[in-house]
Structure 1
Amino acid sequence: MKNRSTSRLRRIGAVVAGAAAAALVLSGCLYSMIPAESPPAATKAPDTSGVAEDLLPFYDQQLDWSGCGPSFDCTDVKAPLDWENPGKGEIELAIVRHRASGTAKGSLLVNPGGPGASGKSFVQSSLDYAVGKDLEKSFDVIGFDPRGVGDSTAVKCFDAKRMDQYLYGIPKSPRNTPAWEAELNARNKAFGAACDENSAGILPFVTTVNAARDMDLLRAVLGDKELNYLGYSYGTFLGATYAKLYPERATHLVLDGAIDPSVPGLEVGTTQALGFESALTAYLEDCVKSKGCPFNGTVDEARADLSALLAAVDRNPLEGGDGRMMGADSMLTGIIQALYSEDYWEYLSQALEGALQGDPTQMFFLADNYNGRGEDGTYADNQTEAFSAYNCMDYPVDTNPADEKAARAKVEKGAPTLAPYWNAPDPCLQWPYPATGKREKIVAPGSGPILVVGTTNDPATPYEWSVSLADQLENGVLITRVGEGHTGYNKGNSCVDDAVNSFFLDDTVPKDGLRCG
């Protein structure tokens, strides 16, 4: 079965993507103080070519934009609750548009990942990080909250107090005992039941297949006959699913930090454990040579010290200043958060030094950043709820004991630091609805070229997944970024950036296998 840590960690990519652009968030906070510009009228009629009659009321929508910041417009789009039964009900999709600073070639849809991350806030607060200046000139950049997420019709579960208990609560029973497992199963069942009760019937329909269909609706109402799309992390699975459903319209897709759609959940978790252990090794190699490292000696000695710290905190949690206790699971969340980018290694060293001195303040900061929790104890969005909804509907639960045993052995061998805290009862075992997704290869015959960007030491979406997805796709083109961290575009590598920009701007397809050092 998938482990709880795996489910959690598959979300971090999107969260860190937003966090890495934290310096840009201030401009988003200032929107309310800047007079909004009057948005221009939509210049394109909706594309309704080939649309079935029962879907025409959705595809033929006229968008009513309103200004929501300098050069930004916002609106809502109505979509079917159930694409198989369009008359069953409606949901709303929240979108933001940053108008092209030059002549627009069309719209460029952007998804930051997750599942559960807000594309609307990603674009509105971190535009330069999301797409970069070159693409801003030639495209209307569209950020959207997929169904179940953020300002769209959203999954709702716990209030802030109960969310704290769910994310940070420390089980009373010793780890890996039957009582511990029962305690976590009860917690997960209560969470799933709250999501079902508070989400107005949308849970069975929060799937990547439905989100991809929503994305085609957005393309159409924006007046584009073909899709321009940039997807990060989970957004690669969303983009690949779109290409599978609408290959003839998938003409300009870039999938950065790919998820392999054929890999089952249990294998995803195992591979990620190895990826994060590799990223941890890279951090420790740098740390022991750097001033301010909390560890002395060799990398192996530093790893042993970190393992001892985690074990100590597991036995005796650290008290935070707000009454919360930090156990090993929350500490692991903070560590993993910082392993997403070399830019965070300094903060990780500070957090570990604090923990060694009995102060979890900095480690709580990293864990809170990952969980979207503010200093006042409120949660900025519903990323945890939406993440759970998508994963539990997309990934069938593997309950084969032999598979679980083999996966655990692989993690213990390849990720010894993380292994003691990696496995726990899968929350999806307690989800109110069975998964409808299938883990299978995506070929997308008839699509345009699809660029797949992979980073060689990406911990969350390991490089092998990008290689596999590019191989699966009939028209996949692999771009390799040699380096650390999650995703490769707009991360300071001009070779990757030039290839992606030229693809969108000039229809130039890079050579398959391009390697960017």
Structure 2
Amino acid sequence: MQRTRRRSLIAVGAVAAALSLTLSGCVTAFFPSDDAAPSSTPAPVADDLDEDLRPFYEQQLSWESCEGDGFDCATVSAPLDWENPSDGEIELSIVRQRALGGDPIGSLLMNPGGPGASGYDLVASSVDFAAGDALQENFDIVGFDPRGVDRSDPVECLDDAEMDAYLYDLPENETGTDAWIAEVEQSASTFSDACAANTGESLEFVTTVSAARDLDLLRAVLGDEKLNYLGYSYGTFLGATFAELYPDNVGRLVLDGAIDPSASIFDVTKAQSMGFESALSAYLEDCLGSSTCPFDGTVDEAKQDIGDLLASVEQSPLPAADGRQLGSSALLTAIIYPLYSADSWPYLSQMFEQTMSGDSTYAFFFADQYNGRDENGEYINNQTEAFSAYNCRDYTFDPNVDLMREKAAELAEAAPVIGPYMAYGDISCSTWPYPEQAERAEIHAAGADPIVVIGTTNDPATPYAWAESLAEQLDSGVLVSYEGEGHTAYNKGSDCVNAAVEAYLVDGTVPEDGLACS
């Protein structure tokens, strides 16, 4: 891959990945009155709760109006270290749209994925995209930034210029050589050291297990005896982890675009390489049937053209007006970004046509959108930093060079266009200042209420097989399948999926296990 940094797996921020192509502006809800934001009464806590945790669970939230009519914001104090809750605290930022119907069932917490995507922004700026009318009528819709993300004691690593270098600078040596690996290791070390220095002690505790414990705290201080939750993409892993830790506190959970919690980092990388390769084939099949397609011939011939384009910019990068050079890594990011949604395929065609003519403008626009970089060269969020912080603790990595080369060959065989540029990801976390938190394992959540798992049959970022696996692992898992393209399924045009999700969350009607939607 052309960038010095190696991404160990593609970010799986379900909603966030495609938002800027489809949404703009802030959603404002109508409320019948401008009364002050009501306070929350914490849910009763268990008698055997650790005394050091009791102040956190019994805190009263102070809501303030924000983000336009009908939105309230608050901060929640959480333990820095859940194993030692008296050692300090962090602040979690939350935003709430009160139930439009005025008589909420309770709170519905939402997470858009990542790891590192902002649930606060999801609700404050795009609530209509995230939740249909039935959910907004019946629930207080609550978005939150998990620890380490954006407004919640964020992971901080590099300034804008340094982030540009980290994401876009081109290496001096040939991919896969010892000299190239040394370059990547040095880049990873510089990044890790900066994260440790600029974030401080909270970096150690940016893990999914800690975030899941925060989720139970949010449930309690919002006044809900059980958690109602809609998690997309990585948010499914967060929700499943919560269910494993607190099965008795599981209310109505919907996990859309599921991650297999038992998959290793290489399993994930290989599955995603194949998933995006499959999505690329689907795009090309659709494209070749139109008069505006920049490719000719068969799907396989067009894929060869794309592979040749990636190889070409690796050897001879295309310049941008701001001085950056478009290499294969940035171009791969530009290809992947619109593959998250079939609605974005026409933009992908325009990007290919422009890039093949020697113009990198559109490709850099897509890569920048994916990386959270605006037109002024400023990074508007910390998703890259938070993504690394979570994954480097949540997975186990092996930077053995011989093994990575074997895996690189396997990726290239499994996904000939995408796979070669997703190899060597173990290097990116090899210098992280804190070791992995735990081995990946199945999640069963014994004793939990039904948990609905949704999988899309040609989802590139979270392949359908992961939804099948998670639903089977969960003792109370219920699988809903959507036959279609793109990442995640709820509120994306399927009346069948929407009805199943909303009937469960609003009325508690459990969908038929194995329900197939189109």
> How many Å separate the matches in 2 of 1:17 and 1:346?
14
**Cα contact 2:18–2:337 (8 A) shared by 1:** no
> How many Å separate the matches in 2 of 1:205 and 1:493?
38
Write the mapping of 1:87-486 to structure 2, written as runs, cut at 5 A: 87-102=86-101, 103-399=103-399, 404=404, 407-425=407-425, 426-486=427-487
Q: Secondary structure at the match of 1:54?
A: coil
Structure 1 match to 2:61: 63
Structure 2 match to 1:40: 37
Task: State the Cα deviation string for residues 370-421 of structure 1 (Å, max 9, x = none).
Answer: 0010001001110000000000000011346776455334322221012332
Structure 1 match to 2:71: 72
Gaps in structure 1 of 5+ consecutive residues: none
Task: State the Cα deviation string for residues 449-482 of structure 1 (Å, max 9, x = none).
Answer: 0000000000110000000000000000000000
> How many Å separate the matches in 1 of 2:390 and 2:504?
30
> How many Å separate the matches in 1 of 2:471 and 2:235?
15
Gaps in structure 2 of 5+ consecutive residues: none
> How many Å separate the matches in 2 of 1:238 and 1:348?
31
Task: State the Cα deviation string for residues 483-511 of structure 1 (Å, max 9, x = none).
Answer: 00001111100101000000011110011
Q: Which moved more, 1:276-285 or 1:43-52?
A: 43-52
**Corresponding residue pairs, total:** 508
Task: State the Cα deviation string for residues 168-189 of structure 1 (Å, max 9, x = none).
Answer: 1111112222111111110110
> How many Å separate the matches in 2 of 1:191 and 1:81?
23
From the superposition, tell whether residues 173 and 39 of structure 1 become closer, same or farther in structure 2 (CA, over 3 Å): farther
Q: Secondary structure at the match of 1:295?
A: coil
Structural RMSD (CA) = 1.8
Structure 1 match to 2:84: 85
Structure 2 match to 1:52: 50
Cα shift at 1:13: 3.4
Cα shift at 1:323: 1.2
Task: State the Cα deviation string for residues 209-237 of structure 1 (Å, max 9, x = none).
Answer: 00000000000000000000000000000
Write the mapping of 1:9-28 to structure 2, written as runs, cut at 5 A: 9-22=10-23, 25-27=24-26
Task: State the Cα deviation string for residues 18-38 of structure 1 (Å, max 9, x = none).
Answer: 33542xx3126x99xxxx955
Identity %: 53
**Cα contact 2:234–2:259 (8 A) shared by 1:** yes
Cα shift at 1:6: 5.1
> How many Å separate the matches in 2 of 1:240 and 1:20?
29
> How many Å separate the matches in 2 of 1:291 and 1:168?
34
AA at the equivalent of 1:89: G
From the superposition, tell whether residues 39 and 121 of structure 1 become closer, same or farther in structure 2 (CA, over 3 Å): farther
From the superposition, tell whether residues 263 and 402 of structure 1 become closer, same or farther in structure 2 (CA, over 3 Å): farther
TM-score by length of 2: 0.95
> How many Å separate the matches in 2 of 1:140 and 1:445?
28
**Cα contact 1:46–1:61 (8 A) shared by 2:** no
Cα shift at 1:203: 1.3
**Cα contact 1:96–1:120 (8 A) shared by 2:** yes
> How many Å separate the matches in 2 of 1:370 and 1:140?
30
TM-score by length of 1: 0.95
AA at the equivalent of 2:92: L
Q: Which moved more, 1:485-494 or 1:403-412?
A: 403-412
From the superposition, tell whether residues 434 and 495 of structure 1 become closer, same or farther in structure 2 (CA, over 3 Å): same
AA at the equivalent of 2:338: A
> How many Å separate the matches in 1 of 2:511 and 2:43?
32
**Cα contact 2:394–2:436 (8 A) shared by 1:** yes
**Cα contact 1:6–1:269 (8 A) shared by 2:** no
